[in-house]
Structure 1
Amino acid sequence: MTKFHFPVGYHKFHPTKIIDFQLNRWYSLGYARFEDMVEAGKRINSLEDWKGEMIRQAEKALEEGRTMNGAFHYRAAEFFVSPSDPDKLTLYEKFIELFYHRVFAEDKIERVLVPYEKGYLPAMRVPSNIEETKDTIVIHGGFDSFIEEFYSMACYFADLGYEVILFEGPGQGGALKKYGLPLTHEWEKPAKAVLDHFDLKSVTWIGISMGGWLCFRAAAFEPRIKRVIASSIAFDYMQIPPEPVAKLAKLFFRFPKMMNYMAEVKAKASDQNKWGIYNLMHITKKDNPFDASMAMIQLNEENLHSELVKQDVLILTGAKDHFIPLKMHHKQVKALNNAKSITERIFTKEDQGHNHCQVGNFGLALDVISKWVQEKLLFS
């Protein structure tokens, strides 16, 4: 089993937040070198430069025999590529090929396709690294994440004696790219498919990023989830912006044509907006911004059903998360009024885990999770 190092520190790699976060992301998860992220940050002026620079970093790493760095630089390159660009699928396939057949070819990874609707959910099973397995931990991300991104996390828990199952739900990774499954807010459906397929009766469930919303939806309707952990809390995507902005957005929802027009104007004005709008259309499989947004706002307070969550809950939040404001953490905690227990951890700048999903000190987040799970298993 591969051993990973989780460096401490959220660094200023780039002046643009969204680019800076992505460079920190791959470094913090243990997949990239500090000096490569510094170099990339200096060479990238805008999102237009991103793909070319990260491909250059990938090729350089492979030439130097650094296959893990090379593989994850291809993943990084894919992240900001437009869904209409044929390189998006090519980069994904390069990453997957390197990941399974070169970088981690000797690791004990079981690749599984879980039947779901008219397609499959790609999953990965990582066995416990010790003789006696303590428990099963199930992990998924959010938005357009890949299970391979969380492999360092899986290895960490496997070394502690846990069986780990990672899966991609509708709208994510191969479930979207290979089987055309769009994002759904009804996450209990893919959760049931995974639990049934692996014949799991009692699990610890971890949702990351948008997965912090999806995991509570799954837990609300799936009693086989006994412990639920959310890294990043959205609660209700329409409540994230300031109230005046949210009210204006709701007004636009009454005028689909106007909303589509405004979205196109925003896309032309900013590469970042263009990426966000077209990627949302991609993962929801909608052909216009209005319909994509309507799918996205299903991730709301009412559909979450926090009142049905009766499990032990751990919530990890970055105090300075640049995607999701701290107010959402407090809204979510208040709404979990029937949970068996709630443990909160708000990471500060002093922790270096203050940003989205504790990028900057991912190792600390893993330590907090492992101690909490051990405690809950001990007294369950």
Structure 2
Amino acid sequence: MKLPVGYHKFHKNKFLNYQLNRWYSLGYARKENIQTIGSKIKTFDDYINEFQKASEDAIQENRLKNAATYLRASEFLIEPNDVTKIPIYKKFIELFDKVFEDQNFERHKVPYNGSFLSAIKLPSKTKEVKGTIIGIPGFDAFIEEFYCIWNYFTENGYDFIAFEGPGQGGSRRLYDQYFDHDYEKPTKAILDYFELNEVTALGVSMGGYWIMRAAAFEKRIKRVIAMPPLYDWLEMTNSFNQKLAKWFLTKRRLTNFFIRLKMNVGTIKHTINNALFIQNKSDPFDAVEWMMGMNKEHIHSHLIDQDVLLLTGENDAFQPVGLLKKQKEALTKAASVSERIFTKSEQADQHCQMGNLGIALEEMLNWINKKST
């Protein structure tokens, strides 16, 4: 599938505009639909309702790929305590499976921590299988929405296993697995279940942090890709803000008060809501504490001795380019460290290269092929 190229102005709000570009860049949305939806959005409720309407229209016209994508987009901003959140997720999964029922992919329930992790396996579409890649989504993504990424590698000779760790996707919504920063534990469960001894591991978005943490402790990972790296949450801010954030962690009631004041703002509202949802908590303070759990001490960069590829965009608003440089400096024992910073001229400068995802896929494939030989 040829992915769209171009990062568009679908909305004046940068956060909403990125999300609209996200669904379009992944290849299963109509540009005209996204433009229409964007023109009608003023609030999160507008966003939710317009995508649900677009999904219903697509179902009526038998455009099921569009319908599934728009339903997923709608679920994205439904608040954790909304009783429609899980039913809409389940309807999305039902649509997704119907859309791709002719594809040779398998759903798996991987035993973990008294319940299960959600995983899908996509076998290579070539006669010669070059190896296996495992992949994870990020803070607020599903394995299904990145199907175009996983599928790309199967078309080029690799088996691909995508999974959702505790707190993510179906692992949270179906199996009540709540978040754990120690990502080597679910990674071990996946490698054990599929009997894998050597893999390349890819983390997309905030998954770029968790997959690096996994590689530090799980040596069946031979090559690791962070798209992009996070390294340390506080490194995104200046030294004053770092000190302020640490001070707020000593003031639970005050922190809750100020966060609730700010939660009418788009990015903050979504970040806090989702951080609490994946932990099954309700106190905003716990969201801040969760964010601080992703730090340069916890990631254990000094234990990573594999080949590493770091990718980012020069204008990434969520995981800024400076984090790549800090992560690279910390990889003192890596077998090799490669990097690629995508530019605006390539239309790949945004978070996770939305705008030109294809160029990132090609970069990763070439690197994996080179490091696997």
TM norm structure 2: 0.98
SS at match of 1:25: helix
**2:60 is aligned with 1:56:** no
Give the aligned partner of residue 243 of structure 1: 239
Please state how far the C-alpha of 1:91 moved relative to its aligned partner. 1.4
Q: Name which of 332, 335, 342 aligns with 2:337.
A: 342
- Report the counterpart of residue 319 of structure 2 in structure 1: 324
Q: Measure, in 1, the Cα distance between the counterparts of 2:181 and 2:224.
A: 17
Offset at residue 48 of structure 1 (A): 2.5
Amino acid aligned to 2:336:
S
1:186 lines up with 2:218 in the alignment:
no
- 2:110 match: 114
Worse overlay, 345-354 or 150-159: 150-159
Q: Secondary structure at the match of 1:124?
A: strand
Maintained 8 Å contact 2:40/2:50: yes
**Is 1:293 matched up with 2:288?**
yes
Q: 1:220 and 2:216 equivalent?
A: yes
Which letter maps to 2:159?
A: E
Give the unaligned 5+ runs of structure 1: none
What SS does the corresponding residue of 2:341 show, helix, strand or coil? strand
Q: Distance in 1 between matches of 2:269 and 2:360?
A: 32
Is 1:69 paired with 2:66? yes
Matches within 5 A, 1:16-95: 16-95=13-92
**Equivalent residue, structure 2, for 1:370:** 365
| Aligned residue among 193, 196, 201 for 2:197 | 201
CA shift, 1:131, in A, is 1.3
Q: Which of 241, 248, 253 in structure 2 is aligned with 1:252?
A: 248
Of 5, 8, 12, 2:2 maps to 5
Q: Pick closer, same or farther for the CA change 1:314–1:271 going to 2, 3 Å.
A: closer
Pairwise CA distance, 1:18: 1.0
Name which of 165, 170, 173 aligns with 1:169. 165
User: Partners of 1:260 and 1:43 in 2: how far apart?
Assistant: 32
Partner of 2:227: 231
Which deviations, in whole Å up to 9, do the C-alpha atoms of 1:308-350 show, x marking residues without a partner? 0001111110110011222111100100111000110000101
- 2:28 and 2:239 map into 1 onto residues whose CA distance is 38
Name 2:96's counterpart in structure 1: 99
Distance in 2, Cα, partners of 1:9 & 1:362: 10
Aligned partner letter, 2:196: L
Indicate the larger mover: 290-299 or 362-371: 290-299
2:228, 2:311 within 8 Å by CA — same for their partners in 1?
yes
Aligned-partner residue type, residue 229 of structure 1: I
Query: Deviating runs (4+, > 4 A) in structure 1?
Result: none
Cα deviation code 1:108-131 (max 9, x no counterpart): 111101111111001000001011
Give distance in 1, aligned partners of 2:287 and 2:280: 8
**Distance between the aligned counterparts of 1:59 and 1:296, measured in 2?**
36
User: How much has 1:47 moved relative to structure 2?
Assistant: 1.8
Question: In 2, distance between residues paired with 1:333 and 1:363?
Answer: 24
Q: CA deviation at 1:77?
A: 0.3
Change (3 A) 1:162 1:112: same
> By how many angstroms is 1:285 displaced?
1.7
Alignment check: 8 A CA contact 2:275 2:290 kept: no
8 A contact 2:276–2:287 mirrored in 1: yes
Deviation, structure 1 residue 51: 0.5
TM-superposition CA deviations, 1:146-183 (whole Å, max 9, x none): 11011111111111111000000011011111122111
CA contact (8 A) 1:142 1:210 kept: yes
Q: 1:354 and 1:270 mapped to 2: Cα distance?
A: 24
Aligned length: 373
Given residue 123 of structure 1, which amino acid in structure 2 is its aligned partner? A
Cα RMSD (Å): 1.1
Equivalent residue letter for 2:71: Y
Maintained 8 Å contact 1:47/1:272:
no
Deviating more after overlay: 324-333 vs 358-367: 324-333
Secondary structure of the structure 2 residue equivalent to 1:147: coil
- SS of residue in 2 equivalent to 1:247: helix
Query: 1:6–1:29: 8 Å Cα contact kept in structure 2?
Result: yes
**Percent of pairs with identical residues:** 46
1:145 counterpart letter in structure 2: A
CA contact (8 A) 1:136 1:164 kept: yes
Deviation by residue 1:256-293 (Cα, 9 ceiling, x = unmatched): 111111111212x4344333222211112222111232
Report the AA paired with residue 312 of structure 2: T
The answer to whether the 8 Å contact 1:285/1:292 transfers is no
